[in-house]
Amino acid sequence: MISTREALRRVCDLVGPGAIETIPLRAACGRVMAAPAVARLTQPPFDASAMDGYWVARADYTPDARLPIAGESAAGRGFDGLPPAGTTVRIFTGAPCPAPGGVVIMQENITREGDAIILPPALPEADNIRPRGQDFAEGMEYRPAHPLTPRDLGLLAAMNVAEVQVHRRPVVAVIATGDELVQPGETPAPDQIVCSNNVMLAAIAEQAGAEVRILPIARDTEESLRFTFGLAAGADLIVTSGGASVGDHDLVGKVAADLGMERSFWKIAMRPGKPLMAGRMGNSVLLGLPGNPVSAAVCAQLFLVPMIRKMCGQPAPIQEPRHAELAVDLGPTGPRRHYMRARLEPGDPLPRIVPYDSQDSARLRILAEADVLLIRPKDDGPIQAGEIVEYLLL
Ligand SMILES: Nc1nc2c(c(=O)[nH]1)N[C@H]1C(S)=C(S)[C@@H](COP(=O)(O)OP(=O)(O)OC[C@H]3O[C@@H](n4cnc5c(N)ncnc54)[C@H](O)[C@@H]3O)O[C@H]1N2
Ligand code: MOO
């Protein structure tokens, strides 16, 4: 059994960033940029008013003076030409200032008298003007390392960038295996259960950035597994669940090997998730998850998500552990690193972490309630409430 750290290194080594494609900004939320975008203009393109009010040349300012209004500057329709000396220009938020060296006085601070204004006794401290280029200049490059957020899209749009270069999303084929499984919504026979892994794994993969195909459930025969692997052709990553252990009906490893899989590893010192398997299979990579739903989910979180993030082009695909204060005493661990389902409670300076009493890898309700995984090293002694422990977000 290899360590989880070694397994993580190996699964990440099996994959690389996807090819580069150009897509419209509208489709780019969540995608990772593969090349910088370049601002095609300067923003704002002119000195712009930040308020509705009156533009006055500083040179024309005298306390309480009366200035005639020379015209108007509105957003999208600026003042034409230069205002004559000794005049003011009615101006609105976002409109171009008619000349340099001015100040915008908010309309609330002006007395309007017909076609003229009475200036206030003092100029405002701020000039209420957004200088040309204060946000960014033409030629500025932008390429965040994280998946594009709605805020990034706003900035890119303002840069007049209509398309971005991103890494292609990996195609992930999800295969559940087992004679006991029926699809959600079907009626299981007395000795069957509902397949919960597929929708869960598909959603985890999609959230990480993949495009997912859920394939039909493979039965516990070599023939059915071979057929279903055939349906996965073209996928970058094939994710199976079940059939990974040592039972007579655990055939995933054997069939994958028959189909040419070069196995990177099978079995890791991790609880839950011991029978995890990974390798290269033709042009795809196979990640064989254990069937127990909690084991499948935890392995997906720890291994599948970083693989997909790396394929999507994220430079730091692995989640760093955080720290919390243990809320209860815990006994010793065994020969596997234990990822315990737990919940966080507020605490100061660190949050408090409460592991669930039952850590059975079939209990989906506890998994659904948990928000974190408390990490316990293998062969660790008992630890007490108050000690600082590591955890990962689920
Ligand atoms: N003699 C041993 N038995 C087992 C060992 C071992 O080392 N020696 N390891 C145990 C561990 S740890 C795990 S984890 C499981 C994993 O086994 P498999 O990957 O072969 O999974 P299955 O046997 O096919 O299924 C396990 C369990 O999960 C249920 N299951 C499977 N697929 C789904 C699905 N898509 N949706 C919902 N539930 C699913 C299945 O019905 C079983 O109850 O092996 C232990 N045994
Ligand atoms: O490792 Mo299994 O994944 O304990 O349930």
Q: What is the ipTM of this complex?
A: 0.98
Q: Are residues 285 and 304 in the same domain?
A: yes
**If you measure from the C-alpha of residue 334 to the centroid of ligand 1, how many angstroms do you get, rounded to a whole number?**
19
Q: Are residues 229 and 207 in the same domain?
A: yes
**If you measure from the C-alpha of residue 243 to the centroid of ligand 2, how many angstroms do you get, rounded to a whole number?**
13
Which of the four pLDDT bands, split at 50, 70 and 90, describes residue 225? Answer: very high
177 torsion bin: left (phi>0), alpha (psi -120 to 50), beta (else): beta
pLDDT reported for residue 87: 98
The residue whose CB lies within 8 Å of the most ligand 2 atoms, and thus the one to mutate among 246, 274, 336, is 274
Indicate which residue's Cα is closest to atom 9 of ligand 1: 245
**If you measure from the C-alpha of residue 170 to the centroid of ligand 2, how many angstroms do you get, rounded to a whole number?**
27
Per-residue H/E/C for 118-150 = ECCCCCCCCCCEECCCCCECCCCEECCCCCCCH
Exposure of 265 by Cβ count < 10 A (0-12 exposed, 13-18 middle, 19+ buried)?
A: middle
Which of the four pLDDT bands, split at 50, 70 and 90, describes residue 154? Answer: very high
Q: Are residues 205 and 272 in the same domain?
A: yes
Q: Is residue 317 assigned to a domain?
A: no
CATH number at residue 350: 2.40.340.10
Query: For a pLDDT cut of 90, what percent of the chain falls above it?
Result: 99
Q: Considering the chain, what is the average pLDDT of its residues?
A: 97
- Enclosing domain of residue 30: 25-41+137-167
Q: Are residues 105 and 157 in the same domain?
A: no
Domain count, the chain: 4
pLDDT in tens, 156-192: 999 999 999 999 999 999 999 999 999 999 999 999 9
Task: From 119, 152, 167, give the residue that closes a domain.
Answer: 167
pLDDT reported for residue 130: 98
**Which residues form ligand 2's pocket by a CB distance below 6 Å?**
271-274, 290, 292, 295, 361
Q: Are residues 160 and 248 in the same domain?
A: no
CATH number at residue 31: 3.90.105
pLDDT in tens, 259-290: 999 999 999 999 999 999 999 999 999 999 99
Q: Are residues 250 and 183 in the same domain?
A: yes
- How far is 290 from 243, CA to CA, in rounded Å? 7
**C-alpha closest to that of 280 among 264, 303, 296:** 264
Which of the four pLDDT bands, split at 50, 70 and 90, describes residue 298? Answer: very high
Q: Are residues 268 and 278 in the same domain?
A: yes
Q: What is the number of the ligand 1 atom nearest to the C-alpha of 361?
A: 14
**Which residues form ligand 1's pocket by a CB distance below 6 Å?**
176, 178, 180-181, 193, 195-197, 241-247, 250, 272, 274-275, 290-293, 295, 361
CB of 244 within 8 A of CB of 275?
yes
Average pLDDT over residues 368-388: 98
Q: Which ligand is nearest to the CA of 334?
A: 2
Q: Are residues 173 and 305 in the same domain?
A: yes
Q: Are residues 153 and 187 in the same domain?
A: no
Q: Are residues 107 and 143 in the same domain?
A: no
Q: Are residues 199 and 286 in the same domain?
A: yes
Which of the four pLDDT bands, split at 50, 70 and 90, describes residue 74? Answer: very high
Q: Are residues 248 and 175 in the same domain?
A: yes
Q: State how far the alpha carbon of 342 is from the alpha carbons of 205, 284, 298, 392, in Å.
A: 22, 34, 12, 10
